[in-house]
Chain A
Amino acid sequence: MRFAVFYIATLATFAMLGVLIPQVPEAMRGNSAAIAVWVESERGTFGPFTETMQRLGLFEVFHAKWFLFALGFLVVNVTTCTFNRWSPTFRNVFRPPRRVPDSFFDRAHNRTVLAPIGIDALAPALRKLRYGVETRVENGTTYVFADRHPWTQLATFVSHLALILFISGGLITWFTGFSAEIFTGEGTTAPVFAVSNPNQLQVRVDSTTGRFGDQGNALDFRSKLTIFKNGREVAHGTTTVNDPFKYGGYRFHQVGYFADGAELRIRDVATGNAVFHETFPLEESTAAPSVTMTDASGKTLLVDTIAPTDFLAGASGAIVHVPGTDRVIWVGITAKGDKAWELVAFDPQGGGQSGQVRVAEGARGTISGIDVHFDRVAAIPSAVGLGIPGGDTKTLAQLAKGADGADSLTLVSSNTPAISLAPGQPTTVGGLEYTFLGRKPFAGIAVKRDSGAWFIWIATAMLVGGLAVTFYVPRRRLWLRLTPTATQVASLAEKSGGFENDMRILAHRLGVPVPPELQEER
C-alpha cells in the first residue's frame, strides 16, 4: 500500500512538471528543426539547464518514454493487484462460510444479542430486509446465514478495470491519436498528414458557407468535403461545427470560416501555360472611402467604395471615372489625427480651389460641380506579397465590391499599372493573361483521431457505476445462532454503522427490545 501511494504520488509529480514547465506545442511535434527553434526560445527562461532539461524530456513530459513507461508500469501493477485479489474475493462472494464456529459469536467485530426469536418469524423479517436466508439445525440449535447483495464486492474490480482502461485509453491515443488543422479555400485540396505518409488523406473543400446573425455573430459554418486516400476518392459528406464528418476513424470538424478569398489564374500568353493559379485568403485590410457622388440636379452618379491603387505620401486613393460624365476625379483618404479620416478629392482638369476638396467622414463637399459625400471608411480585404507574376514582391491584392455589387479583384504593384479584374473576364497585361475566377471562401477544418476516446468513455461509466455500487448498495453478511434463551448475531467488520441500524430495524420488526448498546443516543 505504501509503495502504491509513493508510486502514484511520483506519477502525479511528473504530471505536475508537465503542467508547470512549458511544453513543445503539439503542431511542432515531429519536426526537429521547429523544436530546436522553440527550445532555443526557452533558453532565456531556463538558461544553462535548457539542454539538460530537453535531454531529460522535460519539455515533452507527456510524450517522454520514461513517463509512458511509468504509466504502463502502473497499469501492470493495478492489473497484478486486481488478479491477486480476484480468487479470495470471488470465493468470499460465491462460496462464503455459511456456518461459523460458536466462538465467533463471542469475538466478531460486530455482534449483539437479541431476545429469543423463532426462525419462522426471523427468516421473513430478514428477507424483507433483502437478505438471502439459509438455515440449519444442530443439536437443537438453529444456525442462520443471511447474506445481502454479496456481489457488490465485485464492484471494486470494476473500478480497478476502469483505472486500467483510463490509462490504456491515454496510451492508445498517444500512439495512434492524430490532430491537425487545415485551412483551405473552396475548390482546393489539402493533405491531412505530412508529406509521403503511407496513409495520406487529402481533403477537398467542395463548398463552404457561413451563417451569421444580425450582429455579425457566427451562427453556423458548413462545408461539403471530399476525402481522397492515396489519390482515390474514398468519402464525401458534410461537416458542421457541431456535427463532424467521419471517415476511417478520423473526424473532420469545421472550426473556422473565412469569406474573403479569391482564385486567380495567370497564363503566359506566348505559351498558353499557367504561371500562377492560386486560391488565396485576403486576411489583411485596406482603408478605402465609400462615397456617393451626385450632380447639381441631385441625380446620383456613383455609389462605390474606392479601392486604392495609388499610395502617395499620407494618402491612398484611385482615379474614378464618374459615370454619365466625362469627368475623372482622384478620390482617396488620409488619416486626420489618430482616429479620424478625411476624404481627399482632386480633379486633374479642374483649377484653383474648385478642383480639390477635403471632406470629413459623414460630410459632403463639391468638386468641379460634382457633389461628393464621404459616406464612411470601409475596410477592403487585402493581401500582400503573394508572388503574383508580373508584379513586384509586394503586390497588393484587394477584393472589393463594385458599384453594381459584383466582386472585383484589384492588383497593385509599384512597377506596373493597377489591374482591376471582374470575375471570369480575362485581362491581358504585359504578355500575361489575368483571370479572376471568383470569390472563394476558406474553411478551417480540424482533423482528429482519438482511438482511445471509447476507452475513456467506457472507463468513466465503469468508474461511476463501480463507485455507486460500492458506496450506495448496502452489503451485509450475518450469522445468527438461535437458542431457547437468546439470539446471537455476528457480522463482518464494517466501517459504517450499518450493522447497528439493521439490528435496530430487525428488533423493531420482530417486536423484541433493542439491546442497550445499540440504542440511539437522544
Chain B
Amino acid sequence: MTPRNELPLDEVSGVEERPQNRREWSGALRSLILPLLLVATIVGGLYYVEQRRGSSGRAADGTGIVTLPADKNSTGRSPSTDIGRAAPDFLLATPDGGTLRLSDLQGQPLLVNFWASWCTPCRQEMPEIVRAYDTRKDRFTVVAINLQENAAQVRDFAQEFGMMFPIVIDSNGGVGEAWHIGGPVKGIPASYFLDVSGVVQARVFGPMTAATLADGLAKIGVVE
C-alpha cells in the first residue's frame, strides 16, 4: 500500500498544459451526424407532443365524434362540414345526464348551433333562434351544442332564454374541433343547417340575424 503522502511511481508522466482543449471524440459521425440525430429526436418529440395536444379524441365519458352509420350517409363520401357532405355524427351528453346522437335526429331538418354562455354574440343571436324554433318547431329542430361549460350553467342559460330544443354539451371541445366551428377563424357562434338526410346545406359563422336565420332555414326547406 502506498503511504498517504507519497506519490505512486506509476503516475510519473508528462503534463498537459491545457488538457481542457483536447477533444475526446473526433470524426464526422460524432461531430456532425450524432448532433443532427439528437436535434431530429428533440424536434420530432416536440412535434409529436404538439400533435397530441391538438388532437380531438373522445371525452372521458365516451362522448364525442362517432362513426356515422353507412345507411345514414346518403352522400357516399366521408362525413364533413363542407356544403353537400353528410355532417359528422356525434354522441354528446345532455345537461340532464342523458345522451343525444345526431344521426338519430335524421328525417327532419336540423339547425346545429354551437354556443357558450360567455359568448356575447351567441347570447345576442339566441333569442332569434328561440323565436324561429317556437314558431316553426313542427318543421325543424335545433340542436344547441354548448362548448365545455358545466351542466348547471347550461341549464340556467337555457331556462332564462327559453331554449326548449335539444341541448348537448361538448365537454372536451372535440366535436367543435371536428366540425371546424367558425371556419378559418375558429369562433362561435357557428351554425350548420342540415337537411332531412343530415347533409350540410348552409353554414353561418358568427351571429345570425333574423334574415340570415331565415335564409339558412330556407335552404333546408323550412320557409315561413
Q: Which residues of A contact B (CB under 8 A)?
A: 31-34, 69, 72-73, 75-77, 79-80, 83-89, 91-92, 95, 97-101, 104, 108-109, 133-137, 143, 145, 153, 156, 171, 175, 184, 188-191, 194-200, 202, 228, 230-233, 268, 271-278, 387, 389, 479, 492-493
**Is the CB–CB distance between B43 and A72 below 8 Å?**
yes
Chain B residue nearest to A108 in the complex (CB): B15
Given contacts A191-B118, A196-B176, A198-B174, contact A79 B127 (CB under 8 A): no
Q: Which single member of B18, B147, B184 contacts A195 (CB below 8 Å)?
A: B147
Min C-beta distance of B192 to chain A, whole Å: 14
Q: Which residues of A contact B62 (CB under 8 A)?
A: none
Closest to B163 in A: A273
Do A97 and B14 touch across chains, with their CB atoms under 8 A apart? yes
* Cα(A202)–Cα(B22), bound, Å: 56
When distances are taken between beta carbons in the complex, the residues of chain B under 8 Å from A228 are 149-150
Is B89 engaged at the interface, CB distance under 8 Å to the other chain?
no
Contacts of A134 in B (CB 8 A): 5-7
Contacts of B169 in A (CB 8 A): 231
Cβ–Cβ < 8 Å partners of B56 in chain A:
196, 198
> Which of A135, A190, A232, A277 interacts with B123 by CB under 8 Å?
A277
Cβ–Cβ < 8 Å partners of A156 in chain B = 20
Q: How far is the CA of A243 from the CA of B109 in the complex (A)?
A: 53
Which residues in A have their C-beta under 8 angstroms from that of B19? 88-89, 91-92
CA distance A194 to B118 in the complex (A): 12
B123 surroundings in chain A (CB, below 8 A): 276-278
Contact call A136/B161, Cβ cutoff below 8 A = no
Q: Which of B23-31, B68-76, B210-218 contacts A (4 or more CB under 8 A)?
A: B23-31
**A279–B131 CA distance with the chains assembled, in angstroms:** 23
B50 to A175, Cβ gap below 8 A?
A: yes
Q: Which residue, A88, A98, A196, A479, has most C-beta atoms of chain B within 10 A?
A: A196
Please name 11 further chain A to chain B contacts, defined as beta carbons within 8 Å, in addition to the given A75-B42, A83-B24, A95-B11, sorted by A numbering.
A73-B39, A84-B25, A98-B7, A99-B12, A143-B7, A189-B149, A196-B175, A196-B176, A197-B173, A233-B150, A272-B162
The answer to whether B31 and A195 touch across the interface, beta carbons within 8 angstroms, is no
Whether A109 contacts B46 by the Cβ 8 Å rule is no
| Any A CB within 8 A of the CB of B186 | yes
Note all chain B residues with C-beta closer than 8 A to A88.
16, 19-20, 22, 24
Which B1-15 residues have a C-beta within 8 angstroms of A? 5-9, 11-15
Contact A198 B172 (CB under 8 A): yes
Contact B151 A196 (CB under 8 A): no
| Contact among B9, B24, B35 for A87, CB-based, below 8 A | B24
| A98-B16 in contact (CB<8A) | no
A92 near B5: Cβ-Cβ < 8 Å: no
B39 / chain A contacts, CB cutoff of 8 Å: 69, 72-73, 76
Contact of A84 with B7 in the complex, beta carbons under 8 Å: no
Query: Which residues of the other chain, B, contact A33 by a CB distance below 8 angstroms?
Result: 184-185
Interface residue B177 (Cβ < 8 Å from any Cβ of A): yes
Min CB distance B63 to A, Å, is 11
Q: Which residues of B contact A191 (CB under 8 A)?
A: 116, 118, 148
- In the assembled complex, the Cα of A83 lies from the Cα of B148 at a distance in Å of 49
Instruction: Give the A-B pair count, Cβ closer than 8 A.
Output: 188
In the complex, chain A residues whose CB is within 8 Å of the CB of B182: 195
The docked-state distance in angstroms from the alpha carbon of A88 to that of B24 is 7
Contacts of B30 in A (CB 8 A): 80
19 sampled A-B residue pairs with Cβ under 8 A: A34-B185, A75-B42, A77-B35, A85-B21, A100-B14, A133-B5, A135-B7, A191-B148, A195-B173, A196-B176, A196-B181, A198-B55, A271-B162, A273-B127, A274-B160, A274-B161, A275-B127, A277-B161, A479-B15
CA A196 to CA B148, docked complex, whole Å: 7
The answer to whether B124 touches A387, judged by C-beta atoms less than 8 angstroms apart, is yes
CB-based nearest B residue for A85? B20
Q: Is B112 an interface residue (CB 8 A)?
A: no
Interface assignment of B84: CB less than 8 Å from any CB of chain A: no
CB distance from A485 to the nearest CB of B (A): 22
A185 to nearest B CB, angstroms?
11
CB < 8 Å: which of B15, B18, B38, B134 contacts A100?
B15
B24 and A230 contacting across the interface, CB-CB below 8 Å: no
Q: Which residues does chain B contribute within 8 Å of A80, judged by CB atoms?
A: 25, 30-31, 34-35
Q: Which B residues are CB-close (under 8 A) to A145? A: 7
Render B110-137 as a binary contact track against A, CB cut-off 8 A, 1 for contact.
0000101110100110010010001000
Nearest CB to that of A266 among chain B residues? B127
Whether the pair A85, B35 counts as a contact (CB closer than 8 A) is no
Q: Is the CB of B160 within 8 A of A101?
A: no
Q: Does B194 belong to the interface (CB within 8 Å)? A: no
Which of A108, A198, A231, A389 touches B127 (beta carbons < 8 Å)? A389
User: A276 is contacted by which of B42, B127, B134, B181 (Cβ under 8 Å)?
Assistant: B127
Interface contact B35-A73, CB-CB below 8 Å = yes
Minimum CB–CB distance for B92 against chain A, Å: 12
Q: Report the bound CA distance from A389 to B182 in whole Å.
A: 25
* Docked complex Cα distance between A231 and B149 (Å): 4
> How many angstroms between the C-alpha atoms of A233 and B153 in the bound complex?
11
Q: Give chain B residues whose Cβ lies under 8 Å from the Cβ of A231.
A: 148-151, 153, 169, 171
How far is the CB of A247 from the nearest CB of chain B, in Å?
Answer: 16
CB contacts (< 8 Å) of B151 on chain A: these are 231
Contact B161 A273 (CB under 8 A): yes
A104 near B187 with CB under 8 A, answer no
Question: Does residue B87 face the partner (Cβ distance < 8 Å to A)?
Answer: no
Which 7 A-B pairs rank lowest in CB-CB distance, beginning with the nearest? A273-B162, A196-B173, A196-B176, A136-B7, A231-B150, A76-B35, A99-B12
